[in-house]
Each structure stands twice: as C-alpha cells, then as structure tokens.
C-alpha cells in the first residue's frame, strides 16, 4: 500500500505532467469563477485534447481542472451571491453577507485556505481508507440513500432562513418542481402543461441562476451600490491574512468537514448536492454561539468550502472502483478512463492501484496550487466588490444568460431563468429562503427513484427497520430539534438589530397564498394518474398545502398588525410596494424580457450587446463611448468564447434565417 502510494505520487512529478497539471488548474480557476460553467464543462472542453496524450498526463490536465473549479467557485458565491453549482449554495449564506460588510478579502482568504485543507485531508482520508471503501459504498442501498437525501433536505430547510416552517415549505415547493416531466415508474408526463420543453424535467442551471443571481444583480441595479455596501476599500492584505488565520485557527472544524465531505462524496448522484448543507449544519449545530450564522459568520464559509473540495476525491472512488459515475463530471472522467485504456472496476484497487493513488494525489495537489494562485491574485479579485453596481450588472447578466443557455441550448432556458428570477425576487422580499427550492429540485427525482425501489424491494415499509436508516432518521429529528432551538436563540438576540432585512409580510402573504393554490391544484391534477405516478405528488402536495396555509394565516396576522399601525389598507399596500422596489423591478424584468424578444428577432449575438449598451446609457447614465466599448467587448466574449471555443449552438433568429437564405459570402457567424 505504501509503495503504491509513493509510486502514485512519483507519476505526477514528471516535467510534462507538471506542465499539464498547472494548465489544468488555470483553466479550472477560470471556468469555476463563471456562473453556469464549472467542472463538467471544463472536462468536456479539455477532453478532445487528451486523445493522443499519455494517460497520466491526460488525467493531470483533466483532474486538476475538475478539482480547481470547486476552489474558484467561491468567488461568485461570496462576491455576487451566486452559487456556481448546487453544492456551493451553503457558501452564499454567510459569504455574501461578509462581502456586503466589506470583508470580501477575509471571506475569500478563508474559503481558499479551507478548500486547500479540504482537498488535502479529504484525499488523505480516502487514501487511508481505500481498502475499506467498497464495503462502505455497498452498505448504502436505496433506503439508506433515500434517508440521507431526506437528511440533506432537512438540513437546508431548517438552516437556510429565518423560519423553519418557511424553509420546509420551500423545500416542498422544490420537490414539486422536481416532479415535472416523466416519473420513474410510468411514462405519464406530469405538470408539463402540454409543452415539450418540460418533458425532461426543469433544468437545474436556469432555475439556480434565476433564483439566486437575478435578484442579487437586480438589487445592484436598483440601488446602484457596490457589492461592498459601505463603498469603502479595506486593507486587502490584512483581510486576506485574517481569512487564512480563520481557517488555521478553526483547523479542527475544517478537517472534520473535509472528512465528512470525502465520505459523503462517495455516494453516487447524491453527495455533491447535500455535502455543503450537511457540513454547514454540522458547523452551526456544533457551535455554542449560533447567532451570527446567516449574517456573516466565517464558520459558515469554512465548513462547506472544505467539504466541496474534499468530495471531489470521494466522488472519484465509485467511478474508479465500480464504474458508477455520480455526476456529469465523473461520467466524463470515466469516459476518459475507457478511452485511454483503463477499465473502471476492482482492478483499479489491484494492478492499477498506483494510478488510483495518483488521481487522489492530483486532487490534493490541485487544491493547493489553485489556492496559491487565487491567494496571489486576490487583491485584484476583490476590486470587483468596489465597482459601481451599474458596471457590474451588464457583464454578469451576460454570463447568467449564457450560463443558462449552456444546459439545453433552448430559449425555454432563458424563459425559465427569467421566470424563476421573478420568483427569487419575491422570495427575497418576502424573507423566504431560496436554497431549499434548488436542493429539493436536485434531489427530488433521485429521492423518488430510491423511494420507489425501496418500497418495491421490501414490499412496503420494511426498509425503515434497517440500522443505517434508523440512525439517519434519528439524526434528522435531532437536526430539527437543534435547528429550532438555535433559531429561537438567534431570533431573541437579533430581532431588533437587523437593519437590512425589511419585513414585508404582504409579499410573504402573496407567496403563501400562491403556494396554497399551487399545491392544492397539483394535488387535484394528480388524482387522474395511476397510483404509482400520483403517490409522490400527493405525499408532497398535501403537507405542502397544509404548511403554506398555516404560513398564510401567520402572514395575514402580520399584515393586519401592519395595517393597524399605518392606519389604512392604501398605506399598507403603498408601503409594501415601496419597500419591495416593485416599480424599478418591473422595469428591470422588462429589460430581461426585451433580451428574449430581441433574440427571437435578431439573435443572441446582437441582443445581448444591444441590451448592455442600452442599459449603460439609459439606466446607468454612462457615456455612449463607454457603453459601446463595453458592449463590443461582451460581443467578443459571446462570439469568440461561447461560439468559437465552446462551439455552442445559438438560437436561429428570424433575421438570421432570412440572411442565410438571401445573402451569401458574408461571414454570418459574426452576428448570427
């Protein structure tokens, strides 16, 4: 074992391998920092370049890129409040508030250092326990995986906001969204409204970007403030060192979360979705003082970032040893294994053990190199937090829309992104947590599949008697108990001190009543389907209807109390309208709708730069020269990066089709 471990390390330290390794880290850092891209996209882009390479050099390029994206993903999570993936949602909860408080350098320094430690100790935990990993993986059958998913939903529902009831209800709404499309049991479409777009379920990336990115960017546009709300620069070096010291000072928390992330990452299809929330919940519930969580507690950054890097090594193990990829990224890596003559299976723990160890070493070393690079350029990265909001918004909108487009290259992705942007905006103004919706959307289909298998195999509820299932059920109950107790303590201490969260019970009431209608309508619609198809929708919609009705009752009481204070319904509605910025929000969403309509007419390569120029001139009040320069730069990104390098298919606009039919010889790829 020691010989294979050292041999695997020796495979990496070759001159050409090191060169590809550093190149992969640089590519991964770039892709991880752009919303909507990430590790899987990087692997797809780099895979064709590995066809003629030696296996160890090829995997140095691929794995270093894959591992580095989870480190640089903290940039968007902390600076913009946009999770680059579903796994980085938990980082947003405390990372973005720290950036708004002017502590972006501290948060990024802590995140990068924690990621490096997580990558190293996660890989070490896997290396030590590699001979025992197969029994651990095999112990988690359908019932255990289902209960672990329920635990993850419980974590996010109880820890992602100021109300446990709202968190659980939001998770129910996410589960309902996950039921869109064909179910696992029968080929009967659910909640598709007759559209082909929804047959294959709601795409994750447009929903994720809509719920998180658009509301935060819209706030910058409406207020025209920098990410750092104070607008004052701070000592970047001092903040950076403070973040590094935070990670080193809380080393035991970082190591614990690294080990948790490594072992949860081994669960195919589930680990990346829940690992951030499980470790965030562990950090919160193991802390004596929980009052700052959600408002800028550095521990809320350290825990998920350590786990996010550690899970990469864990996710690689079932792919190598069992041929079971748990995500798009690991599926691409398995394809690379087969292409380069390595067969996933037990042989990777026998005659190819040194190669397996080299992969573990790659993940650990890539995490360290990516961290060192990012720490070196952090003084330039944090300048984004001081830029005027109107200069940030157009560029980020470009990456949001193109990130949403990457999933299915469908105009429906842009419509979904904008629609869920409206929902995310209302949820933010109504003080509803958004992370439970996305995590439930990710887990919904997986949980339904494991639930159906468990019920079928054990012919009922006999699977509830399995030891690991019972342990996970107990942990779930304990999680709810401690979350409720921690929320009560935080509420009493921060009820009057929160200045940024303006209570808007009227918006919350609107959401609650809307959910009552949605859940009840979905339940009634499901009665027409066969029992295997309607079973899960009813299990979601019935408690969802009850919970949202209870919340509507409480919200109505708050609205009536506010009406008594203000004196009339007119003042109540006017106050809610003003506090929620509905006037400017409608204008902003009109801009986004304009992008979609213009794309149908003239195409994306014209629509996106046109939006940027008009926004900067009309809303931002900048000069035409700056607006044109900014728009042309973004046009170059769309045409060269997304079009030529990534090779995506653009929308066939009406003008573009006419142009191709009537004019020849012109390089139409420049504008259509």
DSSP 575-639: HHHHHTTHHHHHHHHHHHHHHHHHHHHH-HHHHHHHHHHHIIIIIS---HHHHHHHHHHHHHIII
pLDDT at 631: 93
Q: Which one is predicted more confidently, 599 or 127? A: 599
The model's confidence at residue 494, banded by pLDDT at 50, 70 and 90, is very low
| Per-residue pLDDT reduced to its tens digit, 142-155 | 888 788 778 777 76
477 and 598 housed in the same domain: no
Q: What does pLDDT average to over the chain?
A: 81
Instruction: Note whether 219 and 81 are within 8 A (CB).
Output: no
24 and 130 housed in the same domain: yes
The model's confidence at residue 491, banded by pLDDT at 50, 70 and 90, is very low
CA 588 remoteness from chain centre? 24
**Nearest alpha-carbon partner for 150 in 438, 432, 475, 462:** 475
Number of domains in the chain: 2
DSSP 203-243: -HHHHHIIIIIHHHHHHHHHHT--SSTT-----HHHHHHHH
**563 within domain boundaries:** no
**Can you tell me the distance from the alpha carbon of 501 to that of 560, in angstroms, rounded to the nearest whole number?**
20
The model's confidence at residue 541, banded by pLDDT at 50, 70 and 90, is very high
pLDDT for 493 beyond 60: no
**184 within domain boundaries:** yes
**614 within domain boundaries:** yes
**Can you tell me the distance from the alpha carbon of 651 to that of 638, in angstroms, rounded to the nearest whole number?**
13
| Per-residue pLDDT reduced to its tens digit, 86-113 | 667 788 888 888 888 888 888 888 988 8
55 and 200 housed in the same domain: yes
| Per-residue pLDDT reduced to its tens digit, 616-658 | 999 888 899 999 999 999 999 999 888 887 778 898 888 888 8
For the segment 501-510, the average pLDDT, to the nearest whole number, is: 79
111 and 241 housed in the same domain: yes
**182 within domain boundaries:** yes
490, 508, 534 — which closes off a domain? 490
pLDDT at 47: 74
pLDDT at 86: 61
Token digits of residue 370: 């990516």
| Per-residue pLDDT reduced to its tens digit, 424-436 | 999 988 888 888 8
pLDDT for 420 beyond 90: yes
Helix (H) or strand (E) holding 277: helix 271-285
**Can you tell me the distance from the alpha carbon of 282 to that of 289, in angstroms, rounded to the nearest whole number?**
13
pLDDT at 130: 66
Residue-number span of the structural domain to which 61 is assigned? 2-490
pLDDT for 499 beyond 50: no
**Can you tell me the distance from the alpha carbon of 421 to that of 12, in angstroms, rounded to the nearest whole number?**
45
pLDDT for 501 beyond 50: no
**Can you tell me the distance from the alpha carbon of 360 to that of 240, in angstroms, rounded to the nearest whole number?**
28
Q: Which one is predicted more confidently, 516 or 60? A: 516
pLDDT at 655: 87
312 and 420 housed in the same domain: yes
The model's confidence at residue 57, banded by pLDDT at 50, 70 and 90, is confident
483 and 599 housed in the same domain: no
The model's confidence at residue 331, banded by pLDDT at 50, 70 and 90, is confident
| Per-residue pLDDT reduced to its tens digit, 13-36 | 777 788 888 888 888 888 777 766
**548 within domain boundaries:** no
pLDDT at 567: 82
| Per-residue pLDDT reduced to its tens digit, 339-397 | 777 777 666 666 667 777 788 778 888 888 888 888 888 777 777 767 787 888 898 89
Task: Report CA-CA distances (Å) from 500 to 50, 173, 319, 561.
Answer: 50, 26, 45, 21
| Residue 190 DSSP one-character state | B
pLDDT at 29: 84
437, 472, 490 — which closes off a domain? 490
| Per-residue pLDDT reduced to its tens digit, 192-210 | 888 888 888 888 888 888 8
Token digits of residue 385: 């937090």
Residue-wise over 594-608: b if at least 16 C-beta within 10 A, else e? ebbebbeebbbbbbb
Count of all residues that appear for the chain in the document: 672
The model's confidence at residue 116, banded by pLDDT at 50, 70 and 90, is confident
pLDDT at 633: 93
Of 361-365, 571-575, 611-615, least confident by mean pLDDT is 361-365
| Residue 648 DSSP one-character state | P
**Max Cα distance, the chain (Å):** 79
**515 within domain boundaries:** no
**571 within domain boundaries:** no
Instruction: Note whether 407 and 203 are within 8 A (CB).
Output: yes
| Residue 613 DSSP one-character state | H
235 and 360 housed in the same domain: yes
DSSP 290-340: -TTTTSS-THHHHHHHHHHHHHHHHHHHHHHHH----SHHHHHHHHHHHHT
Looking at the chain, the whole-number percentage of residues with pLDDT higher than 90 is: 16
- Residue showing tokens 């600076």: 79
205 and 332 housed in the same domain: yes
474, 490, 506 — which closes off a domain? 490
Most confident of 256-260, 420-424, 570-574: 420-424
**Can you tell me the distance from the alpha carbon of 431 to that of 576, in angstroms, rounded to the nearest whole number?**
13
Q: Which residues contact 231 (CB under 8 A, 6 or more apart)?
A: 225, 386
Of 112-116, 274-278, 412-416, 652-656, least confident by mean pLDDT is 274-278
Q: What is the pTM of this model?
A: 0.81
**574 within domain boundaries:** no
Token digits of residue 459: 């012919």
């Amino acid at each position: 074992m020691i010989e294979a471990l050292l041999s695997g390390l020796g495979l990496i330290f070759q001159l050409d391998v090191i060169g590809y390794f550093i190149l992969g880290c640089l590519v991964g850092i770039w892709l991880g920092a752009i919303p909507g891209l990430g590790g899987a996209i990087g692997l797809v882009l780099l895979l064709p370049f590995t066809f003629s390479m030696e296996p160890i050099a090829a995997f140095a390029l691929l794995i270093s890129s894959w591992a580095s994206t989870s480190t640089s993903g903290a940039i968007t999570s902390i600076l913009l409040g946009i999770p680059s993936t579903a796994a980085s949602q938990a980082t947003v909860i405390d990372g973005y508030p720290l950036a708004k408080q002017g502590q972006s350098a501290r948060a990024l320094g802590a995140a990068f250092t924690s990621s490096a430690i997580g990558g190293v100790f996660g890989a070490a935990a896997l290396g030590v326990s590699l001979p025992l990993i197969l029994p651990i993986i095999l112990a988690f059958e359908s019932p255990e995986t289902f209960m672990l998913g329920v635990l993850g939903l419980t974590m996010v529902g109880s820890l992602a906001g100021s109300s446990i009831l709202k968190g659980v209800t939001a998770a129910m709404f996410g589960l309902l969204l996950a039921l869109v499309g064909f179910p696992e049991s029968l080929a009967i479409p659910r909640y598709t409204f007759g559209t082909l777009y929804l047959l294959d379920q709601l795409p994750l990336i447009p929903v994720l970007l809509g719920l998180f990115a658009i509301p935060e960017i819209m706030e910058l546009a409406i207020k025209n403030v920098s990410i750092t709300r104070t607008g004052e620069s701070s000592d970047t070096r001092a903040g950076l060192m403070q973040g590094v010291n935070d990670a080193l000072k809380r080393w035991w928390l970082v190591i614990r979360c690294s080990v948790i992330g490594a072992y949860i990452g081994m669960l195919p299809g589930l680990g990346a979705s829940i690992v951030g929330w499980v470790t965030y919940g562990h950090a919160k519930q193991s802390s004596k003082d929980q009052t700052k969580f959600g408002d800028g507690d550095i521990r809320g950054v350290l825990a998920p970032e350590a786990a996010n890097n550690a899970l990469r090594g864990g996710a690689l193990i079932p792919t190598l040893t069992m041929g079971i990829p748990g995500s798009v990224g690991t599926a691409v890596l398995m394809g690379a294994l087969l292409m380069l003559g390595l067969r996933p299976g037990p042989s990777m723990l026998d005659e190819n053990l040194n190669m397996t160890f080299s992969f573990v070493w790659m993940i650990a070393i890539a995490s360290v190199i990516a961290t060192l690079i990012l720490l070196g350029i952090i003084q330039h990265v944090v300048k984004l937090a001081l830029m005027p909001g109107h200069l940030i918004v157009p560029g980020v909108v470009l990456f949001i829309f193109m990130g949403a487009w990457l999933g299915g290259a469908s105009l429906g992705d842009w419509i979904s992104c904008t629609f869920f942007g409206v929902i995310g905006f209302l949820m933010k103004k109504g003080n509803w947590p958004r992370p439970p919706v996305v995590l439930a959307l990710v887990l919904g289909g997986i949980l339904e599949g494991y639930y159906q298998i468990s019920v079928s195999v054990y012919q009922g509820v006999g699977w509830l008697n399995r030891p690991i299932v019972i342990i996970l059920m107990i942990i779930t109950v304990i999680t709810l108990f401690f979350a409720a107790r921690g929320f009560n303590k935080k509420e009493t201490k921060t009820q009057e001190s929160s200045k940024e969260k303006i209570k808007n019970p009227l918006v919350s009431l609107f959401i609650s009543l809307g959910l009552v209608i949605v859940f009840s309508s979905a339940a009634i619609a499901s009665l027409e389907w066969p029992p295997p198809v309607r079973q899960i929708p009813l299990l979601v919609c019935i408690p969802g209807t009850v919970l949202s009705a209870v919340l509507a009752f409480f919200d109505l009481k708050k609205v009536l109390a506010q009406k008594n204070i203000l004196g009339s319904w007119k003042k109540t509605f006017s106050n809610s309208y003003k506090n929620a910025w509905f006037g400017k929000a409608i204008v902003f969403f009109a801009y986004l709708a304009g992008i979609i309509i213009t794309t149908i007419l003239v195409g994306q390569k014209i629509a996106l730069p046109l939006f940027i120029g008009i926004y900067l001139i009309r809303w931002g009040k900048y000069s035409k020269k700056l607006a044109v320069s900014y728009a042309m730069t973004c046009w170059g990104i769309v045409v060269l990066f997304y079009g030529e390098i990534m090779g995506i298919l653009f929308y066939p606009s009406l003008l573009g089709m006419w142009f191709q039919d009537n004019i020849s010889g012109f390089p139409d790829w420049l504008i259509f």
